[in-house]
Amino acid sequence: MATAKKTTQKQGFKVNEQVVYPAHGVGRIVSIEKQEIAGLTLELFVITFDKDKMTLRVPVAKVESVGMRKLAEDDLVAKSLKTIKGRARVKRAMWSRRAQEYEAKINSGDLIQIAEVVRDLYRAESQPEQSYSERQLYEAALDRMARELAAVNGMTETEAVRLIEQTLAKSPSRAKPVEEPEAGNEGGEPEPDQSAAA
């Protein structure tokens, strides 16, 4: 069996580059390898996620459909920080539905959508306590955003979390979130607040 020449670049991604995989956040491409699976030869990106102690193999042909992307550019990072300074937007929907939407945003891999979750679920010291599930989603979004900011800016994740939290604390309008009516519920009775029961 002949040894194949090691590939170091495919579809604009190269070995040792940090990338964002939507469902897991920032990882590093450690190699590009060929594997025979069920008689087919597939080229795969081997991506490690050190913090999660996980390795993922992504077929090169599926990169676009799974949403793998390069790290955000500086202007997108700046836009994400501007997003978290905005007023929190909370839909008048049952918590279970809002939680699903937050989860989908976190797993979208879109830095701005992740920043929206951070903004909407952040609680200042002076604000009421969060439910356990709200806190879990907030921390997942904060972790995802901090990892990307750290990778882009060459800082530690702790420094990135501090930067995000300082930006959130400076936000002028933390007091009362803007309530958005749920689609299909305009003008109707607002649904009861489910956050205390979650």
166-181 pLDDT, tens digit per residue, is: 999 887 655 555 565 5
* CB-neighbour burial class of residue 130 (10 A; exposed 0-12, middle 13-18, buried 19+): middle
Q: Which residues in 133-165 are b (16+ Cβ under 10 Å) and which e? A: ebeebbebbbbbbbbbbbbbeeeebeebbebbb
Determine the Cα–Cα distance for residues 58 and 165; give it in Å rounded to an integer: 33
Same domain for 85 and 44: no
Pick the residue with more confidence: 22 or 92? 22
Query: 34, 55, 70: which is the final residue of a domain?
Result: 70
pLDDT above 70: residue 80: yes
Residue ranges in the chain assigned as alpha helix (H): 63-66, 74-85, 95-106, 111-121, 132-153, 157-170
pLDDT above 90: residue 149: yes
Cα 78 to the chain's mean position, in Å?
16
Beta strands 178-180 and 89-91: pairing type? parallel
Query: 70, 90, 116: which is the final residue of a domain?
Result: 70
Determine the Cα–Cα distance for residues 117 and 64; give it in Å rounded to an integer: 24
Same domain for 30 and 16: yes
Same domain for 135 and 102: yes
* Any domain includes 64: yes
Q: Which amino acid is at 45?
A: F
Residue-level pLDDT at 55: 94
Which CATH number does the domain housing residue 116 bear?
Answer: 1.20.58.1290
Query: 32, 54, 70: which is the final residue of a domain?
Result: 70
Pick the residue with more confidence: 52 or 1? 52
Domain that holds residue 49: 11-70
Task: Please tell me whether residue 56 adopts helix, strand or coil conformation.
Answer: strand
* Any domain includes 5: no
Same domain for 80 and 52: no
Determine the Cα–Cα distance for residues 195 and 198; give it in Å rounded to an integer: 5
Same domain for 64 and 52: yes
Same domain for 113 and 22: no
Q: Which residue has the tokens 């080229």?
A: 43
Number of domains in the chain: 2
* Any domain includes 145: yes
Same domain for 43 and 31: yes
Q: In which band, very low, low, confident or very high, does the pLDDT at 93 lie, cut at 50, 70 and 90? A: confident
Q: In which band, very low, low, confident or very high, does the pLDDT at 97 lie, cut at 50, 70 and 90? A: very high
pLDDT above 80: residue 185: no
